[in-house]
Structure formats: structure tokens, C-alpha cells
């Protein structure tokens, strides 16, 4: 089975060709970073126009990279939500047009399910597994029982963790997007233990997260330094922030592991996914936790953690294998929680 996947839910325009033998035949991502940088964040209208402008060309490139024509495809999958609605509409309409013209099945993929199933594209990960989904708009711990079967153990009660990285980067004057820039600054820190930050939720019952207090604490340190940071201040603060996030994640994951084991004594892996899963300090912290707990740990390669279309094509394949497709009347969804019983997620899209 060969599937074309499209991703347009935020500020990456992406197209990929993936097979059910877990082969990524093409994977092209165009970041709109330069379009949004002057505004310090993603501007939805600019994003939608940029998707419209670039998507056709990216699809052509992906098909050429894969060495196939439209006649070789078995299906088309596109992110159907959650995300910035203008962009999602561009991807969904494009996929529907190809599906209609070529009489192919169409699959509307939940972007979060794309992140959630990526580990099964890159590694042998059987269901069930414990998933830490950490991205620009989400921060959740989920038990993945199967395709389309998610049980949420915890979520953020305020900011998503990627959002916290982005806001902290802004406070530190590092620019956008914050995650990779905070990581780089932290790696340069000469005195990473210099600043003490509160560690929200650590030791509390449950598996929820909170990041707004941490962000406020960073702001207070910036103000105490007179609002003018030296490079050393900036790097040390970035290191403190990143280390605190990793500690909080490890604490919440340790609790979730206990709950997971109660429900699934036969075992399962700890999987991390989403843009923030590209953070090497976080990956290392989770790897050591998993080792201590005797649980396998799986983290997709960095470029498959941040937004891409290979994960969308793959999630499409997982659904097609179950005989699931979507009608061409599918309406793009700005909000689309993975766990249908979950209360609406606070934060950005989703
Ligand atoms: P969602 O998937 O929730 O809809 P999104 O698609 O916008 O949100 P992703 O592309 O999955 O988000 O992740 C982007 C986020 O990941 C940004 O907030 C970015 O700062 C963060 N991020 C990317 N790389 C790193 C890194 N190395 N360290 C920490 N955070 C990172
Ligand atoms: Mg992005
Ligand atoms: Fe994402």
C-alpha cells in the first residue's frame, strides 16, 4: 500500500509518501518560519495563504522523490484537524481533489494521532503503550490501547509545554520558535545550577501538568536582572527552565507508568512524541527514568517529532488497514481531542 500524506495544520507545509512496509519513500517539509518571524509567532491567515501557495509544488516534489505517479497511489491522507482552520482546509481540500480525480480513498487524520502513532512507523511498538505527547499545543499522558483508542491520564491545566518553551524564549529574547533556541542556549550554559525555579506539580497526585507558574518565575528573574540579560544570564536561565521541565515530565511520567502497569501488567513501552520530544535533554531524562523502571523507551528521530507529513501518511495507513476511510463530505475540525471523553483541552488548538 502506498499513501500520500499532507500536513498543513500549523506553520509547516508538508507532503510525504509512505508504504505499509514502513518505508518513507518521500518526506518534504517546508517551514514557513521566515513568514512568521517578524510577528514573533504564527499568524493564521499568513499560514493559510502560504500553504495554498506551496502545497502543490511540495506534492509534486514528494511524488518525484518517491519515483511514483498518482496512478501508483492507494490512498490520500491529510490532517483533518485539530489546528489552524485555514491551513487545515487547504490540506483537506487538496487531498479530496486528488482522491476525487483519481478515485482513491481519502483519510482525514487527527494530527495528534499522527504524532501518537509515529513510533510505530519507526520502531516495532505493539499496543498498548504509554504516550507522552508534548507539542506546541498539547501536553498529555495517554494510554494508547490501539488505533483510535486513547485513554487520557493527564493533561496541562494551563499552557502546553511547547508554548512554555516558546514564551520563555521570548522572555529571554531568543526569538521564535523557542524550543530549539532554548535547547541551544541551555547547552552553552556555564552555570546551569545558578537559577532556582519552582517545579510545578511535582509530588502532586494525578498526572496533570502546569507551566504558567514556571514561565512567571522566569519573567521574575528577568525583571530582577533589570530586564537586561547578558548572554551568560540568558543561557543559565534557559538551562534552569529546560532542566525543570525535564524534572516535571519525569515525575508525571513515573506516576503514569504506575497507572499503566496496573492496567497492563503484561507491559508496554514509554513513547514520547510531538515537537518537544525533539529536545535531547528531555529524551535523556525520560530514557533514564524508563531504564530505572524497566520499561522500554521509544523516541522517534528528531525530524519525525516536529510536524511532518510522513506521520500523517502513516496514521492514514493504520486506519486504512482497519478498513476505515472518510467521506469527501468530511468537514475540517479546528478542535479534535484524541480521547473523546476528555474535557476540552485548555490552550491553543485542540
Ligand atoms: P500540536 O501538535 O499540538 O498541534 P504543533 O503542531 O504546532 O502543535 P509541533 O510541531 O508538534 O507543534 O511542535 C512544535 C513545538 O515544539 C514548538 O512549541 C517548539 O518550540 C517545540 N520544539 C521543537 N523543537 C524543540 C526542542 N528541541 N526542544 C524543545 N521544544 C521544541
Ligand atoms: Mg510548527
Ligand atoms: Fe504537531
CB 8 within 8 A of CB 88: yes
128 Cβ below 6 A of ligand 1: no
As assigned by CATH, the class of the 2-117+305-321 domain is alpha beta
pLDDT at residue 349 above 70?
no
> So what's the pLDDT on residue 176?
83
Give the model's pLDDT for residue 342: 62
Secondary structure E strands in the chain: 2-7, 12-19, 24-31, 75-81, 106-110, 129-134, 139-146, 149-155, 270-273, 297-298
Asked if ipTM goes beyond 0.95, one says: yes
CA of 13 to the centre of ligand 2 (A): 9
Residue nearest to atom 16 of ligand 1 (CA): 275
Number of C-beta neighbours around residue 50 at 10 A: 21
Mean pLDDT, rounded, for 252-266: 97
Which residues define the annotated binding site for Fe cation? Answer: 111, 115, 307
Is residue 193's pLDDT more than 70? Answer: yes
With a 6 A CB cut-off, is 316 part of the ligand 1 pocket? no
Among 237, 143, 126, 113, smallest CA distance to 186 is for 237
The closest-lying atom of ligand 1 relative to the alpha carbon of residue 138 is: 3
Residue 38, pLDDT score: 87
Taking the C-alpha atoms of residue 122 and residue 133, their distance in angstroms, rounded to an integer, is 16
Average pLDDT of 105-109?
Answer: 98
- Residue 41: CB within 6 Å of ligand 1? no
Q: What is the DSSP string of 97-141?
A: HHHHHHT--EEEEEHHHHHHHHHHHHS--PSPEEEEEE-SS-EEE
Ligand 2 centroid–CA 53 distance in Å is 17
Pocket flag, ligand 1, residue 300 (CB < 6 Å) = no
Per-residue pLDDT, averaged over 152-170, amounts to 96
**Atom 13 of ligand 1, residue of closest alpha carbon:** 275
Give the CATH superfamily of 127-302. ATPase, nucleotide binding domain (3.30.420.40)
Q: Do 127-302 and 2-117+305-321 have the same topology in CATH?
A: yes
Phi-psi region of 187 (alpha: psi -120 to 50; beta: other; left: phi over 0): alpha
Burial of 260 (0-12, 13-18, 19+ CB in 10 A): buried
Domain ranges in the chain are 2-117+305-321, 127-302
| C-alpha 59 – ligand 1 centre gap (Å) | 23
Distance CA 175, CA 178 (A): 6
Amino acid at each position: 500500500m502506498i499513501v500520500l500524506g499532507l500536513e498543513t495544520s500549523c506553520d509547516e507545509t508538508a507532503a510525504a509518501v509512505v508504504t505499509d512496509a514502513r518505508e518513507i519513500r518521500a518526506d518534504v517539509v517546508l517551514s514557513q518560519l521566515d513568514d512568521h518571524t517578524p510577528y514573533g509567532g504564527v499568524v493564521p491567515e499568513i499560514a493559510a495563504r502560504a500553504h495554498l501557495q506551496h502545497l502543490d509544488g511540495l506534492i509534486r516534489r514528494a511524488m518525484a522523490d518517491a519515483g511514483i505517479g498518482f496512478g501508483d497511489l492507494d490512498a490520500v491522507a491529510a490532517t483533518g484537524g485539530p489546528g489552524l482552520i485555514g491551513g487545515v482546509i487547504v490540506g483537506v481540500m487538496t487531498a479530496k481533489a486528488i482522491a476525487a480525480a483519481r478515485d482513491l480513498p481519502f483519510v482525514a487524520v487527527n494530527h495528534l494521532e499522527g504524532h501518537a502513532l509515529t513510533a510505530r512507523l519507526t520502531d516495532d511498538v505493539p499496543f498498548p503503550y504509554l504516550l507522552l505527547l508534548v507539542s506546541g499545543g498539547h501536553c498529555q499522558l495517554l494510554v494508547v490501547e490501539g488505533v483510535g483508542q486513547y485513554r487520557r491520564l493527564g493533561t496541562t491545566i494551563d499552557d502546553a509545554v511547547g508554548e512554555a518553551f516558546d514564551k520563555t524564549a521570548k522572555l529571554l529574547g531568543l526569538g521564535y520558535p523557542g524550543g530549539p533556541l532554548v535547547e541551544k542556549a541551555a547547552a552553552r550554559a556555564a552555570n546551569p545550577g545558578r537559577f532556582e525555579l519552582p517545579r510545578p506539580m511535582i509530588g502532586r497526585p494525578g498526572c496533570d501538568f502546569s507551566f504558567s507558574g514556571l514561565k512567571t518565575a522566569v519573567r521574575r528573574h528577568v525583571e530582577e536582572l533589570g530586564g537586561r540579560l547578558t548572554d551568560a544570564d540568558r543561557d543559565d536561565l534557559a538551562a534552569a527552565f529546560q532542566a525543570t521541565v525535564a524534572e516535571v515530565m519525569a515525575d508525571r511520567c513515573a506516576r503514569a507508568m504506575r497507572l499503566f502497569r496496573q492496567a497492563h501488567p503484561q507491559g508496554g513501552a514509554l513513547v514520547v512524541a510531538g515537537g518537544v520530544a525533539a529536545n535531547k535533554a528531555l529524551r535523556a531524562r525520560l530514557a533514564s527514568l524508563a531504564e530505572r523502571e524497566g520499561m522500554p523507551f521509544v523516541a522517534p528521530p528528531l525530524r519525525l517529532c516536529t510536524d511532518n507529513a510522513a506521520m500523517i501518511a502513516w496514521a492514514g495507513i493504520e486506519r486504512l488497514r482497519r478498513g476505515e476511510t472518510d467521506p469527501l463530505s468530511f468537514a475540517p475540525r479546528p478542535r479534535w481531542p484524541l480521547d473523546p471523553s476528555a474535557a476540552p483541552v485548555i490552550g491553543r488548538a485542540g
